[in-house]
Amino acid sequence: MRELRESYEQRIQALEKRLADTESQASQAASSAVEAQATADSVARRPAAESTFNPAVSLIIDSKFTRQQRDPSAYRIDGFVPSGGEVGPPKKGFSLGESELAFSANVDHLFRGNARFSLAEDDGAGVVEVEEVNVETLAMPAGIKLKAGRFLSGVGYINQQHPHEWDFSDAPLAYKAFFGYRLQNDGVQLRWVAPTDLFMEFGTEVAAGDKYPGAERKANGAGVWTAFAHVGGDIGDSSAWQLGLSHVRANPRERGFEDNGISNSFSGSSQTWIADFVYKWAPNGNSRERYLKVQGEYLQRRESGELNYNLNADGVAEASSAARFRQSGSYLQAVYQFMPRWRLGVRGDWLRSGTADLGTLDPAGLPILAGYNPTRQTAMVDWSPSEFSRLRLQLARDKSRNGESDNQVWLQYIMSLGAHGAHKF
Amino acid sequence: MRSKLILRLVALFFALAALPASAALNVFASVPEWAALAKEIGGDKVNAFSATNALQDPHRIEAKPSLIARARNSQLVVATGAELEIGWLPMVLRESGNAAIQPGQPGYLEAASVVRLREVPARLDRADGDVHASGNPHIQTDPRIILKVADALAARLTLVDPANAEAYKANLARFSERWKVAMARWELAAAPLRGTPVWVQHRSFPYMADWLGLKELGALEPKAGVEPGSAHLAGILERQKATPAKMILRPVYTRSTASDWLGERAHIPVVVLPFTVGGTPEAGDLFGLFDDTIRRLLAGLR
């Protein structure tokens, strides 16, 4: 009995002490808040706890059901060197899609950290990909921002958008052909916003360039350089616009690709220009009822260097020649919200394989580089019961493959759980 | 020759773009009421800019390039807080690269931080609609709160721009005096409204209801930010028969369909309120906002 009483007394004392500590902490917090606010009568609403500093966590779940005429595993964009990215449509029928798990928080007074992982399944095995892991500065002077780590490049317009922000279920053909659907950099980014009433942003990036249009590198230094500029503003209360011009330069060494079962590689220089625009209209700027969004981008790439044909197991080519490519692509899309929660969209995609100068190589050995201009027309309707959910039906006629038209039907849902950060314009 | 011309054009372009920058303190307000308040307290010492206008739904704004450019040039950001601007302001502030106006800095003020918020949800679940974890953010509908925010804003202006401290102090004193006189006038005029039962479109007016003693029977929106369906409205019509409300209050930026439907069937007026500065032609400044609000409420009572 006595033991029991003593133990209870001890526990009561401990509890009292914790209560007193908590009270003093709360009053300290309140007093510092008052100091901070100068004239504050607010109270510290949240008790201090370790979990208070958890980063914002967001989970996007995305699932698709498709009906396609052609086999998506044999997807290719004719006239273009395969970009090696996830460019094809998902498998026929039901597919899991990619879930995105994102964390972000201020690290301290100088840095903010972002991390985003995609979770998918490939041939029955779980796959985790690191989409973004980076830190950005919060307190640089004069409108300068630095970002380091893995990030989506600031070039173009759609490049920085995550798949769940897209207005269609898949990326524009031009991005698929030129960047493996998006340019993802491991490196550093410097951005500067000009102190003007007209929005002007300039940026440059230096990165590893291990991915298309670069190639895996074994050398020191960087493999891809970018520069971009965006200007933007309003036209009255109802319209907003943004224009951009970007440049991507890479020097791939032995960038491999398969064509008709034969391994080839390219070494040389690759330069891409991107011009982009976006225009948004909503009556009085109130996008709740109706809005219109029109966006388009034009990409042009020049590559010149050495093309090695039919590499054997030791990487020795059967034939090599100087080669030049000049290719371009564009898309134009419009999305209209005709009543709250309902949107309609159309998109056109055009690619031009342009002139491929293969030098002394026999074009018959490289059928994928035969001249062809792929096109695609897409229409979609989506319904968003809230800002956190979206259901979409998309129809597309994809003529990426020479002589094979692929009619596709997509059903997709995108759901966002947890903290959901603001989207870019 | 041609390159020289291009150079000149570029120089001209930059000069024009940089022109509006002046010596006054640039205040970036998320909503029109705080821009109006900054004009009252700052006088000619500040350039107040409102990121949104009264006809926009403050929950649904985009991080437009024009807003990023304005934020880049601002020395003080005045936001409502309580997650009202969560969908766009954090992005605008981060993208601007302006270290002085980040949350936690003297250049960032949240009006809600000096107010005890109402309707703090007991449970946080997105199934309940567009809930604000810290409470209802529509604080500008109570003039007593405007006065509190005015104090905080003057203190903050003094902190950011100590050189003009005297001017801010004098402007605050003058504003407070005029405001208290006006409040007495509004309260006297609004006396007949006390105890009046009302429906609201969105939960936009709990602070005003508290100030004027209006009795909110409920919101037409079944859940915050969700448009009411016909079954829900029919239910409200039933409740209207049991406990009749005198009018339906709707902020000017919301859709009129639901409130018009109910007003027609229940034979009660739909009172469209300016909600913030600029919501109606009469609500040209903060005084006009409350003059017009009271006038419209009284007209609805008749």
A109 contacts on B by Cβ (under 8 Å): 104
Q: How many domains does chain B have?
A: 2
Interface ipTM: 0.85
For the ranges A72-76, B129-133, B179-183, the lowest mean pLDDT is seen at B129-133
Element holding A12 (H helix, E strand): helix A2-37
CB atoms within 10 A of CB A354: 18
Mean pLDDT of chain B: 89
For the ranges A38-42, A120-124, A244-248, A335-339, the lowest mean pLDDT is seen at A38-42
CB A331 within 8 A of CB A181: no
Indicate the fold that domain A58-418 takes in CATH.
Porin (2.40.160)
**What average pLDDT does this structure show over B245-273?**
92
d(CA A277, CA A294): 8
Task: For chain B, state the CA radius of gyration.
Answer: 21
**What average pLDDT does this structure show over A40-57?**
65
Q: Is the pLDDT of residue B98 over 70?
A: yes
List, as one string, the DSSP characters of A305-355: EEEEEEE-TTS-EEEEEEEEEEEEEEEEEEEEEEETTEEEEEEEEEEEEEE
pLDDT band at A125 (very low <50, low <70, confident <90, very high): confident
Among A369, A11, A196, which residue's Cα sits nearest to residue B17?
A: A196
* Six token digits for residue A209: 């360039």
d(CA B10, CA B3): 10
- In SS3 terms, B141-170 reads as HCHHHHHHHHHHHHHHHHHHCHHHHHHHHH
* Six token digits for residue B43: 């006088």
CB A414 within 8 A of CB A69: no
CB B100 within 8 A of CB B109: no
Is residue B107 included in any domain, yes or no? yes
A-B CB pairs within 8 A amount to: 151
d(CA A173, CA A176): 5
pLDDT band at A6 (very low <50, low <70, confident <90, very high): low
Domain at B67, CATH number: 3.40.50.1980
Phi and psi, residue A99, nearest 5°: -95, 145
pLDDT band at A421 (very low <50, low <70, confident <90, very high): confident
List, as one string, the DSSP characters of A32-55: HHHHHHSS------S---GGGGPP
CB A232 within 8 A of CB B65: yes
**What average pLDDT does this structure show over B163-184?**
96
Percent of chain A whose pLDDT exceeds 70: 88
Query: Hey, of B16, B47, B59, B66, which one would you mutate to test binding to chain A, going by the most A CBs within 10 A of its CB?
Result: B66
d(CA A341, CA A382): 8
User: In this structure, are B50 and B150 located in the same domain?
Assistant: yes
* Six token digits for residue A105: 């928080």
User: In this structure, are B168 and B210 located in the same domain?
Assistant: no
Cβ pair A143:B66 closer than 8 A? no
**What average pLDDT does this structure show over B166-179?**
96
Helix, strand, coil fractions of chain B, as percent rounded to 5: 50, 10, 35
What amino acid is encoded at B195 in this protein?
Answer: G
pLDDT for the residue numbered B11: 57
CA distance A418 to chain B (A): 9
pLDDT band at B220 (very low <50, low <70, confident <90, very high): very high
**Strand partners of residue A292:** A281, A336
Non-local (6+) Cβ contacts of B230 within 8 A are none
Q: Which residue has the tokens 């759609």?
A: A158
Query: Hey, of A61, A276, A288, A383, which one would you mutate to test binding to chain B, going by the most B CBs within 10 A of its CB?
Result: A288
d(CA B111, CA A223): 48
User: In this structure, are B264 and B297 located in the same domain?
Assistant: yes
Tell me which of B169, B185, B201 is where a domain ends: B185
pLDDT band at B19 (very low <50, low <70, confident <90, very high): very low
User: In this structure, are B143 and B216 located in the same domain?
Assistant: no
Tell me which of B167, B185, B203 is where a domain ends: B185
Task: For chain A, state the CA radius of gyration.
Answer: 26
User: In this structure, are B155 and B260 located in the same domain?
Assistant: no
d(CA B136, CA B218): 15
User: In this structure, are B145 and B252 located in the same domain?
Assistant: no
Is residue B123 included in any domain, yes or no? no
Exposed / middle / buried, residue A309 (Cβ in 10 Å: 0-12, 13-18, 19+): buried
User: In this structure, are B36 and B147 located in the same domain?
Assistant: yes
Nearest beta carbon to residue A286 from set B57, B151, B156: B57
User: In this structure, are B152 and B278 located in the same domain?
Assistant: no
Q: Is the pLDDT of residue A211 over 60?
A: yes
CB B17 within 8 A of CB B66: no
CB atoms within 10 A of CB A20: 10
**Strand partners of residue A114:** A104, A134
User: In this structure, are B172 and B275 located in the same domain?
Assistant: no
Question: Which three-class secondary structure state does DSSP give residue B182?
Answer: helix
Among A189, A187, A231, which residue's Cα sits nearest to residue A209?
A: A187
| Contact map slice: A 4-43 vs B, CB within 8 A | 33, 37-43
Provide the domain limits for residue B261.
193-301
CB atoms within 10 A of CB A366: 21
Cβ pair B152:A38 closer than 8 A? yes
Tell me which of B163, B185, B207 is where a domain ends: B185
pLDDT in tens, B237-257: 999 999 999 999 999 988 888
Q: Which residue has the tokens 């044999």?
A: A74
Question: Which three-class secondary structure state does DSSP give residue B212?
Answer: helix
Interface residue B98 vs chain A (CB under 8 A): yes
Q: Is the pLDDT of residue B4 over 70?
A: no
Question: Which three-class secondary structure state does DSSP give residue B220?
Answer: coil
Cβ pair B62:A425 closer than 8 A? yes
Exposed / middle / buried, residue B6 (Cβ in 10 Å: 0-12, 13-18, 19+): exposed
User: In this structure, are B286 and B178 located in the same domain?
Assistant: no
| Contact map slice: B 131-190 vs A, CB within 8 A | 134, 148, 151-152, 155-156, 159
Torsion of CA A211, A212, A213, A219, to 10 degrees: 30
Among A400, A404, A407, A363, which residue's Cα sits nearest to residue A76?
A: A400
Q: What is the pTM of this model?
A: 0.87
d(CA A338, CA A345): 11
User: In this structure, are B199 and B71 located in the same domain?
Assistant: no
Question: Which three-class secondary structure state does DSSP give residue A391?
Answer: strand
Element holding A383 (H helix, E strand): strand A375-386
Among B277, B253, B251, which residue's Cα sits nearest to residue B33?
A: B277
Nearest beta carbon to residue B86 from set A145, A234, A422: A422
Helix, strand, coil fractions of chain A, as percent rounded to 5: 15, 55, 30
CA A104 to chain centre: 16
d(CA A135, CA A142): 19
Q: Is the pLDDT of residue A20 over 80?
A: no
Exposed / middle / buried, residue A4 (Cβ in 10 Å: 0-12, 13-18, 19+): exposed
CB A220 within 8 A of CB A207: no
Mean pLDDT of chain A: 88
**What average pLDDT does this structure show over A127-133?**
93
Q: Is the pLDDT of residue B210 over 90?
A: yes
Non-local (6+) Cβ contacts of A421 within 8 A are A56, A58, A102, A104, B90, B91
Q: Is the pLDDT of residue A108 over 60?
A: yes
**What average pLDDT does this structure show over A36-43?**
42
CA A197 to chain centre: 28
pLDDT in tens, A157-201: 999 999 999 999 999 999 999 999 999 999 999 999 999 999 999
Peptide bond into A82 cis (omega under 30): no
pLDDT for the residue numbered A44: 45
* Six token digits for residue B216: 């909110």
User: In this structure, are B180 and B89 located in the same domain?
Assistant: yes
